[in-house]
Chains A and B, each alone.
Chain A
Amino acid sequence: MSKIMTVDVLSSIKGAQPSEAVNKLFDVIKNAQPTNNNSFNNNRNNYVSLNDLRDDVVIESSALEKQIIIENFPKEKNGYLVVSKIIEE
């Protein structure tokens, strides 16, 4: 698919346009000369060891948690939670 997506579509924000304040920040990055050009030999060590993964189990929510999740749902009709109409393009 070669369709060009504009930032308003990517952001799901009607009429959104890039801003000058933010573009000024990006210009600095474009013109910067990183001393270290390899972004993957980094020392960010926020990975998780395979031995340390959390258990792959389903955790049942409490009754209160379920009730609040339902309360937060924006629309309800005749006991059903209502979503917007979905169309296929």
Chain B
Amino acid sequence: MNKDISCVKLIQEKLDLLRANTNNTVNSLLDTLALQLARKVDAKIANGETIGILEGIPFGIKDVYMLQGTYTTASSNLLKNYKSAYTATAIQKLLDAGAIPIVKENCDSFGHGSSSENTIFGAVKNASNPDLVGGGSSGGSAVNVAKDYTVFSIGGDTGGSVRQPAGYNHVYGLKPTYGRISRYGLMAYASSTDCVGPIAKSVEDIRMVLNVMSGKDVKDQTTYTSTEIKEESISNSKGIKTIGYFKNFIENDAIDPKVKADFLTAIEKIKAKGFEIKALDFFKSDILVSTYYTLAMAETASNLSRLDGSNYGNRIEDKNLKESYAITRSENFSEETKRRIVGGNQVLSQGFSDEIYLKGLALRDAISENFENDFNEVDIILSPVTPSAPPKIGDSLKDPHAMYLSDVYTVGFSLGQLPTLTVPQGTDTGLQITAAKNNDELVLKFANFLKDTI
């Protein structure tokens, strides 16, 4: 840590940048809390006390995480005045390591979107070109990191919501193996794929933040015990021999020719370094997207059924309880959120569940099995993050089906619960590095290798 600048000064600088920013990344600034924590850090350093691994580092939090006493709106009308009563496990671990939360970040409402336009706080603007979307759903988080308003930010990734905005804004974004980091205190979207994910400007920052947040938590019983990833263990590509990629991701009409050409060039460069390259078969794009959205909508319909304005939220009174629920939800959910809840209830209802939902589950199993077989053949799977460059602000809202299809490269790895990292290299929206379940270390290792290769 640079001792030439006090922690209070550093935090104040970042708060000023966030306050003045025109990219719509901020839902609320945590200025009072952040400055109070910064003063404690300065006092600790002055007294020569031991400091935490992330002591004084300013970070951002997607506005779907609980941090006691702060507004947690999910960028929605329903929760625009909701205050967290408790703190998410992942966020608490960062606080315990000394990191300082400075901002709750704009995102698609309840994570429902791939552009961060589905929000009551205004569309998030891309860090490189403000006419383009910031990506989503963790758009505010990725833009804040890209602009150096935060050193790292914590996004949430259900179907690509950390990896895609990271790609759109040229930073690193990790979706760890499902269960590596506790989801306690993360507002549930689709519980079987929801992951806490760090966004940062270097592999090393991702590694440090991942280590701090990882671990078993009794409050999320899908978590597992993982071992710390050491800096030296990811410093070279030893042990990685074979790289795979999915043929049908590249050989289709939907991919932008430049993304395709850049991806194939990256593959050639890796091959030239002596790695074996294998082209793999995979499920068709429309099957991947449809399976993901079918299951995610079913889960979100269930998860969001608790939001009725009864105990919290922007309740609108009507003649009785049932009518109050209905009017509260109708008036306070966005069109995209309503579309997903209705879709979810469609697939879960009698007559549809066998034909769609159960079939979706069977497809998911087949996708997972496919991955297991692939990782018997290859160590790493490399893929583009998105088929094309970020769309202009406004375009995604006009065509939701096209927006769903744009998630084609990210959703499969969510269904497989695999660790996947976006690196800001290779194509205009980056590359995804995926390894077998629980092998997050290998992903970071290969990212370090790519950094010096392409």
Q: Are B404 and A46 within 8 A (Cβ)?
A: no
Q: A24–B202 Cα gap in the complex (Å)?
A: 39
Residue of A nearest to B291 (CB): A29
* Complex contact B366–A34 (CB within 8 A): yes
Interface set of B (CB-CB < 8 Å, partner A): 68-69, 82-86, 178-179, 192, 218-219, 221-222, 286-287, 289-291, 293-294, 297, 301, 305, 308-315, 317-327, 329-330, 333, 338-343, 345-347, 349, 352, 355-356, 358-366, 368-369, 372, 399-401, 404, 417
How far is B361's CA from A46's CA once the two chains are assembled, in angstroms? Answer: 14
Q: How far is the CA of A11 from the CA of B317 in the complex (A)?
A: 18
A13 x B356 contact (CB < 8 A): no
Cα-based distance from A35 to B283 in the complex (angstroms): 11
B136 → A minimal CB distance (Å): 17
With A16-B338, A39-B358, A74-B309 in contact, do A87 and B343 touch (Cβ < 8 Å)?
Answer: no
Contact assessment for B369 and A83 in the assembled complex, using a CB-CB cutoff below 8 Å: no
Chain B CB within 8 A of A58 CB: no
Pick the residue among B83, B85, B287, B317 that contacts A84 (CB under 8 A).
B317
Known contacts A21-B401, A71-B83; 11 additional CB pairs below 8 A are: A12-B308, A13-B342, A17-B342, A26-B356, A29-B359, A30-B359, A39-B362, A65-B68, A68-B69, A72-B313, A85-B320
Interface residues of A in 1-43 (CB under 8 A from B): 5, 7-8, 10-22, 24-26, 28-30, 32, 34-39, 41-43
Q: Are A64 and B312 in contact (CB under 8 A)?
A: no
User: Which A residues have a C-beta under 8 Å from some C-beta of B?
Assistant: 5, 7-8, 10-22, 24-26, 28-30, 32, 34-39, 41-44, 46, 48, 52-55, 61, 64-65, 68-69, 71-75, 83-87
Main secondary structure of the interface of B (DSSP, over half): helix
Which of chain B's residues have a CB closer than 8 A to the CB of A55? 218
Q: Closest A-chain residue to B351, C-beta based?
A: A4
Contact of B341 among A11, A28, A35 (CB under 8 A): A11
Known pairs A30-B359, A71-B83, A84-B318; A13 contacts B333 (CB<8 A) = yes
Kindly list the 6 A-B residue pairs having the minimum CB-CB distance in the complex, ordered from nearest.
A74-B315, A28-B290, A22-B343, A72-B312, A21-B401, A84-B324
Q: How far is the CA of A15 from the CA of B345 in the complex (A)?
A: 14
Q: Which residues of A contact B340 (CB under 8 A)?
A: 22
B365 touches A39 (CB 8 A): yes
Taken together as a complex, chains A and B put the C-alpha atoms of A87 and B317 apart, in Å, by 14
A43-B342 in contact given A13-B330, A54-B218, A74-B313 (Cβ < 8 Å):
no
Question: Cα distance A42–B362 when bound, in Å?
Answer: 8
Contact partner of B321 (CB less than 8 A), chosen from A14, A71, A87, is A87
| Chain A residue at smallest Cβ distance from B341 | A11
A19 and B317 CA atoms in complex are apart in Å by 28
User: Would you call A11 and B342 a contact (CB within 8 A)?
Assistant: yes
The reply to whether B321 and A36 contact each other, CB–CB distance below 8 Å, is no
A84 touches B365 (CB 8 A): no
Are A35's CB and B343's CB within 8 A?
no
**Chain B hits for A13, CB < 8 A:** 326, 329-330, 333, 338, 341-342
Q: Name which residue of chain B comes closest to A86, CB basis.
A: B321
Q: How far is the CB of A13 from chain B (nearest CB, A)?
A: 5
Inter-chain contacts of A34 with B (CB < 8 A): 359, 362-363, 365-366
- Assess whether B319 is in contact with A46, with CB atoms less than 8 Å apart: no
A55 to chain B, nearest CB (A): 8
